[in-house]
Amino acid sequence: MKYLNRFLSLVLVLVLSISFAAPAFAQQSTAVQEITDISTLFTGLYDEINPSVVYIAVQIPTGEASQYHQMQDFPWEDFEELMPFFEPFRKKEQQPAPEEEQKQNYSYGSGTGFVWDDLGHIVTNNHVIDNATKITVTYSDGITRNATLVGADPDSDLAVIQVEDFRPEIKPLKIGDSSTIKVGELVAAIGNPFGNTGTMTTGIISALGRSFALERDISSQGGTYTIPDMIQTDAAINPGNSGGVLINIHGEVIGIVNSFASSTYSNAGIGYAIPSNLASRVVPQLISTGEYRHAWIGISGIALTQEINQLLELDKDQRGALVQSIQPNSPAEKAGIRGGTEKGDIEGRSIMTNGDIVTKINERDVKGMDDIIAYLASNTSIGDTITLQILRDGKEITQELTLAARPTSKERNQQANKPDSEETQTDIGSAWLGTFVRDITEKDISALDLPAGTTGALVDQVTKDSPADDAKMQENDIIQKVDSTEVKDVRDLKEILTSYTPGERITLTVLRNGKTEEIRLTLGTTKVR
């Protein structure tokens, strides 16, 4: 009887153990199945999408190579531990050019693109193919074709090339609606980072509505244009991914990979993609006309903050874009929009204080210039009439204006009757100041009331969040010395900066409003894409 009782007790324990273990085992099996399903989803997406993603190689005259193309000369000696892994790819992508090409001093770069339609049109970033004299496209199976430029738009950083002898079996990708995506959604990027063709990385949408400043694109009154509504992702983005695809779990292209934020050469978990809806507006016009002209108001402005509201004696929660300047012959000038004429100081930064405050555009609330640019890009065309709600001298007014075509960089410089400015940085990884400068002209001497014979490098624009910006440098500053070395022109300044390295502390002697000042700052590292 004693043994029977012991046996029954063991049976009871075993039954109870099985009863409690079954749900846990079932939960574990469900979790494994869910992970397997996600894995199967991404492998299926890769098989479907990758054949339509291409590797783009370009040849550019060295003197016209952009920062992005210079990025291809990666400093491998600084990353010796990676050499064994990357060596096969380096040998593949860095084969010597033919002797006749070497004599012409070309640079070489690469990036990514994807098939847009059945006619062999490939979409990529403008900065991938900018100034290229030769473009080749390599499919995922290794077959290479020559390609020609169809059209490019620097202001959206999009370009279209067309492949010779297009292969009809390569299918165009489906373009999704980027206005419907949400933060947290699963995404994948496919491209050619560091020449590693057909690389897929995964992540989520980290943020929406980011703006990406086009540092090379300067308005005649200072400031920059931006690409609005950029998608931020933590899917790994590295040099070579530019022009590749960001896809959702349905295999739709929701973004065109554009850049990443990093102080080094590698991914830091912050990548950006141009929204597919912007591409859907720009690309068809690039194919049909070779260019895309953006709708334009002609104002520069800043977002109201509590500090600015206090200075202007506004409600502390007032939102809007404070107009700083109006561009000549612009729709804003013709409509009587007012820019600032009086200066104020906010935490050491000079702003124009008495311009109009734009609070709405076509009944859409405006919190800053990014909202205006995003609305124009997504909802308007050249020739459209829009309504601005404006706060002026404490009163709300409405003003209609008709949108015009945004001037190109060349047109703006012609209107301002001034030469093109240059960015002070040179090669990727070099010391970075963060200014666009140009040589001083006789017109500048007259307009700025400078002494005859004034020399130096005239600051046209200060790049946001750069060392120069942090040091409160301003438009129309004239850089006359770096430490003790004299600067007579832009060439002097660029040559001097090449002798410095990122992280070094320097002193700039600057002529500002007729007075000589010393500005101390720490040089940064050239930004990369």
What is the spatial distance between Cα 99 and Cα 327, in angstroms, rounded to a whole number?
Answer: 49
What is the spatial distance between Cα 418 and Cα 110, in angstroms, rounded to a whole number?
Answer: 34
User: Is residue 242 among the annotated active site residues?
Assistant: yes
Based on the domain organization, do 146 and 68 belong to the same domain? Answer: yes
Mean per-residue pLDDT for 52-70?
A: 75
User: Is residue 127 among the annotated active site residues?
Assistant: yes
pLDDT confidence bin for 329, thresholds 50/70/90:
confident
Among residues 107, 206, 219, 242, which one is catalytic? 242
Q: With 50 as the cut, is the pLDDT of residue 77 above it?
A: no
Q: Which of 237, 267, 294 is the last residue of a domain?
A: 294
* Nearest residue to 422 (alpha-carbon basis) of 127, 125, 220, 218: 218
Based on the domain organization, do 64 and 197 belong to the same domain? Answer: yes
Q: Mark 363-391 as b/e (b = at least 16 C-beta within 10 Å).
A: eeebebbbbbbbbbbeebeeeeebebbbb
7 assigned to some structural domain: no
- pLDDT value at position 352? 85
3-state class (DSSP) for residue 100: helix
Share of the chain above pLDDT 70, in %: 78
Based on the domain organization, do 355 and 426 belong to the same domain? Answer: no
pLDDT confidence bin for 275, thresholds 50/70/90:
very high
Among residues 66, 69, 107, 127, which one is catalytic? 127
- If 0-12 CB within 10 Å is exposed, 13-18 middle and 19+ buried, where does residue 434 land? buried
Q: Which of 264, 294, 324 is the last residue of a domain?
A: 294
Q: Are 178 and 277 in contact (CB under 8 A)?
A: yes
Q: For residue 397, give both structure tokens.
A: 């007014």
Give the tens place of pLDDT for each residue, 281-306: 999 999 999 999 999 999 989 999 99
Domain count, the chain: 3
- pLDDT value at position 222? 39
Based on the domain organization, do 211 and 315 belong to the same domain? Answer: no
What is the spatial distance between Cα 373 and Cα 295, in angstroms, rounded to a whole number?
Answer: 9
Q: With 70 as the cut, is the pLDDT of residue 67 above it?
A: no
Element (H, E) at 38: helix 2-49
Q: With 90 as the cut, is the pLDDT of residue 175 above it?
A: yes
What is the spatial distance between Cα 512 and Cα 475, in angstroms, rounded to a whole number?
Answer: 9
Based on the domain organization, do 257 and 157 belong to the same domain? Answer: yes
Based on the domain organization, do 339 and 204 belong to the same domain? Answer: no
Average pLDDT, the chain: 82
Strand 364-365 and strand 385-392: the pairing is unpaired
Question: Which CATH number does the domain housing residue 273 bear?
Answer: 2.40.10.120
Q: For residue 277, give both structure tokens.
A: 């809806």
Q: Which of 294, 326, 342 is the last residue of a domain?
A: 294
Based on the domain organization, do 399 and 362 belong to the same domain? Answer: yes
Question: Which CATH number does the domain housing residue 512 bear?
Answer: 2.30.42.10
Strand 435-439 and strand 422-423: the pairing is antiparallel
Mean per-residue pLDDT for 486-508?
A: 90
Q: Are 324 and 342 in contact (CB under 8 A)?
A: no
What is the spatial distance between Cα 478 and Cα 237, in angstroms, rounded to a whole number?
Answer: 38
* Nearest residue to 474 (alpha-carbon basis) of 298, 330, 324: 324
Based on the domain organization, do 174 and 275 belong to the same domain? Answer: yes
Based on the domain organization, do 221 and 104 belong to the same domain? Answer: yes
User: Is residue 157 among the annotated active site residues?
Assistant: yes
Among residues 130, 157, 234, 439, which one is catalytic? 157
Q: DSSP per residue over 503-520, as a string?
A: T-EEEEEEEETTEEEEEE
28 assigned to some structural domain: no
Share of the chain above pLDDT 90, in %: 51
- pLDDT value at position 435? 87
pLDDT confidence bin for 91, thresholds 50/70/90:
very low
Whole domain around residue 337: which residue ranges? 295-405
Based on the domain organization, do 124 and 232 belong to the same domain? Answer: yes
135 assigned to some structural domain: yes
The verdict on pTM exceeding 0.85 is: no
**Amino acid identity, residue 71?**
M
